[in-house]
Amino acid sequence: MQIQWLGHSCFRFTEKQLSVLTDPFNKDIGLRPPKIKEEIVLVTHDHYDHSEIKDAPSTAVIINGPGEYETQGVYVRGIFSYHDNLKGVERGLNTIYVFKVAGMTFCHLGDLGQLELDEDQVEAIGDVDVLFVPVGGVYTIDGKEATKIIAQIEPKIIVPMHYKVKDLKIDLEGPEKFLKEIGLAAEKVDKFSVNKNSLPQEEMQLIQFDL
């Protein structure tokens, strides 16, 4: 499985002819937007920096919201959550996605704002191999809060996302607080390749993408 970070909360996962894209954004955020292909697209919520799908081809499979889905041999579970810590009053709802590809389980938290997952959410998420977690604060959990969510999920690999990078016009914190709080040495990559045999068996692994 090849994983590429396209910026913000947008990743592309490719395995042979299969492609999964998460949270495509538009150019207004200051980064180069992804071009959607014939692929599975997971949209965690309808804000402009996570849901730019108007130019998606008709062959793309758009998944937008909680539920259970199966397409192209990929099982996807969308889990109800909140974009803030006020039960959605301030920023609305968010969908956590868990999807299974190539014998591995991936979890993308979207713009999670809850400071803690409830028991039902933890159970629905289940065992996770690779976790994608927002750390930039302001509109989501911040670096310190993210470590608490990670402790609830206990993934094998952690990938921080949704933080301040060069040219991003959204005011977020950088990854520094998270990197300090998590206490793991980050492996910096441009692209990341993973398979079920390469997953860490003991300590968590921290992967930090460069744009």
Tell me the pLDDT tens digit for each residue of 21-48: 999 999 999 999 999 999 999 999 988 8
Return the exposure string of 26-60: e unless at least 16 CB atoms fall within 10 Å of the residue's CB, then b.
Answer: eeebebebbebeebbbbbbbebebbbbbeebeeeb
For residue 96, pLDDT over 90 is answered with yes
What pLDDT is attached to residue 48?
A: 81
Residue 172 in 3-state DSSP? coil
Average pLDDT, the chain: 96
CB 207 within 8 A of CB 161: no
pLDDT value at residue 175: 97
Section 137-146 average pLDDT:
96
Residue 173 has phi, psi (to 5 degrees) of -75, 155
Local confidence band at 79 (pLDDT 50, 70, 90 cut-offs): very high
Give the count of alpha carbons within 13 A of 33, CB side only: 19
pLDDT of residue 141: 96
Confidence band, pLDDT 50/70/90 cuts, at residue 91: confident
pLDDT of residue 202: 87
Question: What's the length of the chain?
Answer: 211
Give the confidence band of 92 by pLDDT, cuts at 50, 70, 90.
confident
Give residue-wise pLDDT tens across range 147-191: 999 999 999 999 999 999 999 999 999 999 999 999 999 999 999
CATH code at 2-209: 3.60.15.10
Q: Which residues contact 119 (CB under 8 A, 6 or more apart)?
A: none
Query: Above 90 in pLDDT, residue 49?
Result: no
